[in-house]
Amino acid sequence: MKTVLATLNAKYIHMSLALRYLKAFSGSRFDIDIAEYTIKDPALNVVTDLFRRAPDIVGFSCYIWNIEETIPIIRMLKKIRPDIRIVLGGPEVSYDTEYWMERIPEVDFIVVGEGEETFDHLLRELSPDGARKYHLVFGLAYRGKEGAIVVNPGRPKLALDDIPSPHYFPGDTESLPKRVVYFETSRGCPFSCQFCLSSIEVGVRYFNIERTKRDLLHLIRSGAKLIKFVDRTFNIKRDYAMEVFEFLIANHGGCTFQFEITADIMRPEVLDYLAEHAPPGVFRFEIGVQSTNDETNEIIQRRQNFAKLSRTVTKIKESGKIAQHLDLIAGLPEEDYASFRKTFNDVFALGPEELQLGFLKMLRGTGVRARAADHGYVYTDRAPYEILGNNVLSFSDIVRIKQAEDVLEKYWNAHRMDRTVRYLIDRQFESAFDFFQQFGTFWEERGWERIGHQLEDLFLRLREFLLHRRINDFDAAEGLMKYDYFTQHKYKPRKIWWNVLLSEEEHSHWMRRLSECPEDVSPEFAALGLSERELHKQVMIEKVPLDLRKLLASGQADRSGETLLIARFSPDSSAYADVFTMPMERAVVG
C-alpha cells in the first residue's frame, strides 16, 4: 500500500512541516512519499506527477491559500483513478468538516485537527490486513453506510515528544540552503484572539528543550539559511525562550531565525540580553499589533498593552540587532476607516523595518466568523474568506486601504527609497497613512497596478505623483530620490530617470577635482585612491541644487549652497554603491 502526502505550497521555497510530521510518525510502518507543489503549478501537471507515483492513498494538506487550487486536482485524480483513497487534513478542513465532505464527494476521509496519530490509525485500518473500523478512529470524518457522513469525536492531544522529529529526511538536505525551514517548539496559544484559529486550542504544549536544540543544530549544520519558528507566541514561556535564544546565539552558523513574539510581555532582562549578545541580522521578530483601538481589542478578546509594546519595539530597534516585522489587520470589528488610519500611524511611528497591512479573513471556526452578523460582515464565500465590508467599514473604504497597502509594499517594505519616503512623511504629508493613501489612489487612477515596474519606473512614478501634488521643496525630495537611487545599484546604471544638471564641462571639471583633491569629499573617499581614469569607470556624479548634507542630517531644505552627489561602484559589483556628498562652489567653472 503506497501513500503519497501532497500539498500546494504558496511558493517553491516553502517546505511543508505538516507533511514531514506525518511521514516521521508513520513512515517506519508504511510506504510514504512526500510530494510538494505550488499554487501556481498547473493542475494537470500536478495530477500527472501524482498519477506516475501510482499511489493507493493520497493525502492533501489544506489551508486557506491552497484549498481552491487543490479541489480541481482531487476531482481530476479521482476521474483517472477512481480506486485511489483521498484523505484531506489541515486547518482549512478541520472546521465545518461536513461542508467539505458534501462539497467534494471525491474525498473519502478528513483528518480533523492534530493529524499524526489519527492519520496513522487510518492507515492501519486501510492496510491490506486492516479491519476498516473507521468508527474507532478518533478525529476522523468518513463516509458510512449509503454515503452518510460520519464525524467521529476528537482525539486527545499527543505528548509532543512522542512525535518523531520531522527534520532528518535525507532527501531534504540538499535543498535546505535554498528553502525556508519551518520549526516549532510548542503547539497551542494562551490567548483568545477571536480572528485566529490558534485561540481554539486550550493550553500550550512544549517539545523537550534538548530535542529542540538537537534538531536546530542538525538543521544549522545541514546548511539551513532561514528557519521560521511557527510558535504562535514564542516568548510566552520566558525561560524556554531565553534558553533557545542563548543556544542560537552560540551556534547560529550564519543562519537567520524568525520568531512570532508578543511584544508587550517581553521582559526587560531578555531585551537587555539580546541587545548585548545577539549578532546583527541573526534574529527577526514578527509582532502582531493588529489594532490600537481599545474597543476593537476588547471585542476580539485581545489583551494588549500598546505602551509596553511600543517600549519593546523601540528598545529592539535602538539595539540595531534585530529586524522587526509588525502586522496590522484592517476590517476588525468596530474599526472604521478613521480608526484604522490612527492604528496605522500609531504603529508606523515605531519605525518597523516592515509593516504588513493585511485584511481580516473570516476563517472557519473562529469567533469573528461565528458572530459575523453582530457586526454586519460581508465576505467572500470561498477561501480566503476576505471581508468585503461591515457595519463601519464599507467596500469603498477597503478598496482605498488596499491602494495604500500596494504602495506600502513597494516603497517602504521593499526599502528602495527609505530616505525619500521618511522625508515626505515627516515634512510633506500630514501623516504616514496619508502619504501611502494619496500615492496609492494616484497609482490606481493611472492604471499602474496592471503593468510591471522596473526600479527606475518606481522613482519616475513617485516623481510624477509629487509634481502632481505640487509639494513644497520638490528639489529636496528629488535630491533624496537621486541619493536613494544610487544606493540601490551594485553597478553603474545604464540609464537614469532624471535630466542631468551637470554640463559636460562641469562634469570634466569635477572629475579632475575629485582626482586631485579627494580629501575634500571625505577621508573614506580619499582612501579609495582612485585615479581620474578609475573615476570615469567607477563613479557617477550629479548636482543637487541645495545642501544635501544638511537635508540628510536634519530634513531641512537649505538652498544656500549646492551639493555634488558622488556614487562609487565597486569594480567587481560585490556591494551596493558607496554614495558621498561634497559642497560645490558657486564660482563659474573655468
* Tens-digit pLDDT profile for residues 443-479: 999 999 999 899 999 999 999 999 999 999 999 999 9
Residue 439 has pLDDT above 60, yes or no: yes
Euclidean distance between the first and the last CA atom of the chain, given in angstroms as a whole number: 87
SS3 of 80-101: HCCCCEEEEECCCCCCCHHHHH
* Tens-digit pLDDT profile for residues 485-536: 999 999 999 889 999 999 999 999 999 999 999 999 999 999 999 999 999 9
Q: What's the gap between Cα 582 and its chain centre?
A: 39
What value does the mean pLDDT take over residues 200-224?
A: 95
Q: Which of 324, 340, 360 is the last residue of a domain?
A: 360
Q: Are residues 220 and 86 in the same domain?
A: no
Q: Are residues 201 and 308 in the same domain?
A: yes
Which of 292, 301, 399 shows the shortest CA–CA distance to 348? 292
Q: What is the pLDDT of residue 374?
A: 98
C-alpha distances in angstroms, 211 versus 19, 164, 263? 20, 10, 26
220: domain CATH number is 3.80.30.20
3-class SS of residue 94: coil
Q: Which residue has the cell 563659474?
A: 588
Q: Contact, 4 vs 23, CB < 8 A?
A: no
Q: In this prediction, what percent of the chain has a pLDDT beyond 90?
A: 95
What value does the mean pLDDT take over residues 370-375?
A: 98
What is the DSSP secondary-structure string of 422-465? HHIIIIISS-HHHHHHHHHHHHHHTTGGGS---HHHHHHHHHHH
Q: Are residues 224 and 348 in the same domain?
A: yes
Residue 216 has pLDDT above 80, yes or no: yes
Residue 586 has pLDDT above 50, yes or no: no
What value does the mean pLDDT take over residues 301-308?
A: 95
CA distance 85 to 366: 30
- Binning pLDDT at 50, 70 and 90, where does residue 201 land? confident
What value does the mean pLDDT take over residues 414-442?
A: 97
DSSP E strands, 492-577 = 539-544, 562-568
The overall pTM is greater than 0.85: yes
3-class SS of residue 111: strand
What value does the mean pLDDT take over residues 525-552?
A: 95
Q: Are residues 188 and 326 in the same domain?
A: yes
Residue 589 has pLDDT above 70, yes or no: no
Q: In this prediction, what percent of the chain has a pLDDT beyond 70?
A: 99
Residue 19 has pLDDT above 60, yes or no: yes
Q: For helices 455-469 and 432-445, give the axis angle rounded to 10 degrees.
A: 100
126: domain CATH number is 3.40.50.280
What value does the mean pLDDT take over residues 175-195?
A: 95
Question: Domain for residue 143, yes or no?
Answer: yes
Question: Domain for residue 87, yes or no?
Answer: yes
Cell of 37: 507543489
* Tens-digit pLDDT profile for residues 558-583: 998 999 999 999 998 889 999 999 99
Question: Domain for residue 276, yes or no?
Answer: yes
- Binning pLDDT at 50, 70 and 90, where does residue 537 land? very high
Q: What is the pLDDT of residue 405?
A: 98
- Binning pLDDT at 50, 70 and 90, where does residue 587 land? very low
Q: Are residues 177 and 324 in the same domain?
A: yes
CA distance 459 to 292: 32
Q: Are residues 326 and 356 in the same domain?
A: yes
Residue 27: CB atoms within 10 Å: 19
- Binning pLDDT at 50, 70 and 90, where does residue 590 land? very low
Q: Are residues 356 and 266 in the same domain?
A: yes
- Binning pLDDT at 50, 70 and 90, where does residue 588 land? very low
Q: Contact, 563 vs 479, CB < 8 A?
A: yes
Q: What is the pLDDT of residue 482?
A: 97
Which of 17, 203, 36, 39 shows the shortest CA–CA distance to 116? 17
By DSSP bridging, strand 109-111 and strand 57-61 are unpaired
Q: What is the pLDDT of residue 305?
A: 96
Question: Domain for residue 105, yes or no?
Answer: yes
Q: Are residues 247 and 172 in the same domain?
A: yes
Q: Are residues 236 and 115 in the same domain?
A: no
Which residues form the domain of 109?
2-151
Q: Are residues 323 and 186 in the same domain?
A: yes
What value does the mean pLDDT take over residues 98-109?
A: 98
Q: Which of 360, 394, 429 is the last residue of a domain?
A: 360
Q: Are residues 199 and 338 in the same domain?
A: yes
| Mean confidence (pLDDT) of the chain | 96
Question: Domain for residue 416, yes or no?
Answer: no
Q: Contact, 273 vs 241, CB < 8 A?
A: no
Residue 527's region, left for phi above 0, alpha for psi from -120 to 50, else beta, is: alpha
Residue 296 has pLDDT above 80, yes or no: yes
What value does the mean pLDDT take over residues 399-403?
A: 98
Q: How many domains does the chain have?
A: 3
Q: Contact, 497 vs 481, CB < 8 A?
A: no
* Tens-digit pLDDT profile for residues 229-247: 999 999 999 999 999 999 9
Question: Domain for residue 294, yes or no?
Answer: yes
Angle at 88 between CA 84 and CA 90, to 5 degrees: 160
Q: How many residues does the chain have?
A: 590
The enclosing H or E element of 118 equals helix 116-126
Q: Are residues 192 and 286 in the same domain?
A: yes
Q: Which of 151, 181, 216 is the last residue of a domain?
A: 151
Question: Domain for residue 140, yes or no?
Answer: yes
Q: What's the gap between Cα 560 and its chain centre?
A: 44
Question: Domain for residue 429, yes or no?
Answer: no
* Tens-digit pLDDT profile for residues 148-170: 999 999 999 999 999 999 999 99
